[in-house]
Amino acid sequence: MTDRPLVGIDDIDRAAERIAGVAVRTPLVTCAVPQRRPGTLLIKPESLQPIGAFKLRGAYNKIASLDPEQRGRGVVASSSGNHAQAVAYVACTLGIKATLVIPEGAAEIKIAATRAYGAEVVLVPPDQRDTKPLELAAEHGYTLVPPYDDPAVIAGTGTIGAEIAADLPDVDLVLVPVSGGGLISGIATAIKTRCPRARVIGVEPELAADAAESFRRGQRVEWSPELTFRTAADGLRVAVVGELPWLHIQRYVDDIVTVTEEQIRDAVRLLARSARLVAEPSGAVATAAHLAHPELSAGGTTAAVLSGGNVDPAQYIEILRG
């Protein structure tokens, strides 16, 4: 693995200036947890972004920083849905051609939303999600917009951590979903710089726990699509964390824990009923960890990142019915 430079707080501050007026500065919303231990749970609802997920921050920071020649050639990205929507939205806003590679089996609501922004969608088998964008970039000259393994993308997502630190400087614990690792990399960098006393813990479905296993072993571990695609949290099915995110995780993240499918569903229901927030399964895992692992917060103040709310309506209704 190459020794790539880490993203710093100055990169995150510049990203905050770039995305201002495009990405929503989301609030911290109190979520009551009935019959639970003392302590406060606050939700950072990135579901309120224009595309319904945090991915807008990183995608805009990356694409807006491209030079005119790169913009003219267009962009390409791989995603199970939310990053695809973000890239398509930004490309539409800036007048740039976008091609999105999406693995077969992704949520139809996310595919449809990506196409609605005018992007070309290329559906591929899950094992081609990372190779196909490289082929298209080589063939057409597109600029690759990685979903997580990129300093500009990490800096963009780090603005979430900077906002939490500004709004809640005495935060004790920040819970963050982990997929490719870009989200937790940026947030952990900002939190550990601005609130060094706080702990940052990643959360994964136990059916797609490559990052948790990597954290335990001290090296990146890859899981096959046959394993990761078992979880309903479709946005967290990445086979292995990215190289640059892994460096940030090793330096800044305190732990990575897992949650079950039923615990994720419980969290979706709690967010709907107690916080009036719509969460897709992927977006609810941080809240699920707060419910399933009470030892993590020890009665302090916890901020849980709700990373997205782009859930299939039929799936959402079925979850709410319990």
55 has catalytic annotation: yes
- Please report how the helices 9-19 and 182-194 are oriented relative to each other, as an axis angle in degrees rounded to 10: 110
φ, ψ of residue 93 to 5 degrees: the values are -65, -40
Options 47, 78, 179, 307, the catalytic residue: 307
41, 304 contact by CB (below 8 A): yes
- Under DSSP, is residue 308 helix (H, G, I), strand (E, B) or coil? strand
Cα separation, 174 vs 135, in Å, equals 38
186-225 burial: b if 16+ Cβ within 10 Å, else e? bbbbbbbbbbeebbbbbbbbebbbbbbbbbeeeebbebeb
Cβ partners under 8 Å of residue 98, min gap 6: 74, 75, 76, 77, 87, 88, 91, 92, 117, 118, 119, 120
Cα separation, 314 vs 235, in Å, equals 17
Cα torsion 116, 122, 126, 128: sign: negative
Beta bridge partners of 176: 202
φ, ψ of residue 176 to 5 degrees: the values are -135, 130
307 has catalytic annotation: yes
- Closest by CA to 254, choosing from 187, 209, 165, 314, is 187
Question: CA of 190: how far to CAs of 200, 290, 302, in Å?
Answer: 10, 21, 16
φ, ψ of residue 110 to 5 degrees: the values are -75, -35
Options 44, 55, 62, 192, the catalytic residue: 55
Catalytic residues: 55, 307
